Structure 1
Amino acid sequence: MTDQQQIAAKIWDPTLYDNTAQYILYYGEDVIKWLAPKKGENIIDLGCGTGHLTAKIAESGANVTGVDNSGAMLQEAKKQYPEIPFIQADATNFHLDEPVEAVFSNAALHWMTEPQGVISSVSKALKPGGRFIGEMGAKENIATIIAAINMAFVEIGQEPMPAVFPWYFPSLAEYATLLEENGFTVEQMAQFQRPTALNNGPEGLKSWMRNFADPLLDTLSEEEREFVLERTITYAEPALVDDDTWFADYVRLRFVAVKDK
């Protein structure tokens, strides 16, 4: 099992994910517009999670297959969308019988901490001229949340950043270079701030941390975890609350790249 699979097995709770991260589906529908799926195309949804965006892509008439490395998330996806094929595989090492016209990925590539391997696998999966469309966390994504967690860790005598950092947040230039070095032409790319509202006030940020920051917290005792959650709220509040609404300070990277012919 790779490091990616170990992280996935530890943190992904499909019920928590679907209940607290509805905004991923909402914003992901805009990324599908960049994909512009066509009837009859063969498309991979890489890091498909519980399959909601996979199903949205399928509504276009495209033949879409979901790929994810979390068995728990795929079990829920198969239950909700039994008509769609789903495959459990690591993004750095997935194989298809035939190459496809497009690979799509939303809110997943930043969990894949070996980007060279991921892009290489995507290239192998695509036909010449095939499209790679994605959105992910970019450089400075959740910087305020990370800083607040770090300050809380210092208070309990931990290093400011634990050894396991579960995310890969590249700059636009860094990711564009990786794509070009692996035989892609970048047709569109944008890096932008997207503050994302969280439901239920400070409890919304706690749910976000339980859902997405578990690798940073799972070495702590229950008492330490609760302390870190509470102190993170305190440190983050001045920057992340606007008109009584809590926000996650997201910075996103969105792109369309085409495999060279």
Structure 2
Amino acid sequence: MATDKWSADDYTTHASFVPALATEVVQMLAPKPGDKILDIGAGDGILSLAIADKCAHVHATDGSANMVAYANSRVAAGKVTNVTTEVVDAAVDIKRKISAGVYNKVFSNAAYHWILGSVTSEQQRAQAFKDVYDILPSGGEFVVECGGHGNVGEILVALVAVVKTTWAKRGAKKTTADIKSKLWPWHFATNDEIERWLVGAGFEVEVLERHYRPTTLNGGYGGMRGWIETFGFSFWDGMSAEERESAIDEAVELLIGSDWLEREQKWVAGYVRCRFKAVKK
């Protein structure tokens, strides 16, 4: 079994902006009192709990057992009775773990670029959408916001550069193709890909948008390092702790020119968001 590298503490410290910026996709979801909602990639559970105030039930799922445990602790601490949690790998587990017809809405914020990145083929990515279609009842809705094509492009360039440099110091050559196939954890899909997978699954696409959303990172100058440590952990596979720390330092230095605002003393990352709503007719 792969090691679970997600840290709930790191996520709440460095990525609290993720659920905080979900207003528009939650409005698109439009939770109602009778809704039963499956939340895919629920992370620390904060958004699931907010949605639960407006609907009958939320089942908060995530591929990380660490994150699900943290979400469950939030549920228990708040004595919330209409939120349940479960470890579910949405790339492969949806039809195995989720019964068809139970949930009339499937929701996801900031997770599908991870889910699509965890598999490698067009067929597997299309199947991930087909699995959602199959568990929804007629009239069921699939509402998602995720990283779109071009998301955090400048950060990716910096990470790839420092990985190449670090391995070159060992006398090993890492190509961009090597890094993308083995270390790169995301797939930032184009709108054309999203539409193809949705329509191929049988959905009717009601909304499909792509927006550039410059995003302020948490934590002042330390925010970029925090972001890289929280989300970019796979890039350092095979490196020593010393190599990892040096590579992250170098990546932060490279990004000062593009993302650090000296006068405001903050990092602003180049987020690109894909947002869609699809309905099973």
- Structure 1 segments, 4+ long, off by >3 Å, are none
Residue matched to 1:159 = 174
Residue matched to 1:254 = 275
Query: 5+ unaligned residues in a row in structure 1: which ranges?
Result: none
2:96 aligned with 1:75: no
Deviations 1:193-237 (A, max 9, x none): 111111233311111111000001132111111111111112111
2: CA distance, partners of 1:73 / 1:139 = 26
Which of 100, 122, 141 aligns to 1:131? It is: 141
2: CA distance, partners of 1:199 / 1:54 = 21
Matched ranges for 1:24-103 at <5 A: 24-82=18-76, 83=81, 84-91=83-90, 92-94=92-94, 95-99=97-101, 100-103=103-106
2: CA distance, partners of 1:15 / 1:125 = 32
- Displacement of 1:40 in angstroms is 1.4
2:144 aligned with 1:122: no
2: CA distance, partners of 1:28 / 1:160 = 35
Which of 97, 104, 107 aligns to 1:104? It is: 107
Conserved? CA contact 1:193–1:251, under 8 Å: yes
1: CA distance, partners of 2:244 / 2:98 = 41
2: CA distance, partners of 1:36 / 1:67 = 19
2: CA distance, partners of 1:153 / 1:50 = 29
2: CA distance, partners of 1:200 / 1:41 = 36
Higher deviation after alignment, 112-121 or 165-174: 112-121
Identity between Structure 1 and Structure 2 (%): 31
Q: How many residues get paired?
A: 254
Conserved? CA contact 2:126–2:200, under 8 Å: no
RMSD of the alignment, in Å? 1.5
Give the alignment's TM-score, normalised by structure 2.
0.86
1: CA distance, partners of 2:55 / 2:146 = 25
Matched ranges for 1:195-234 at <5 A: 195-234=214-253
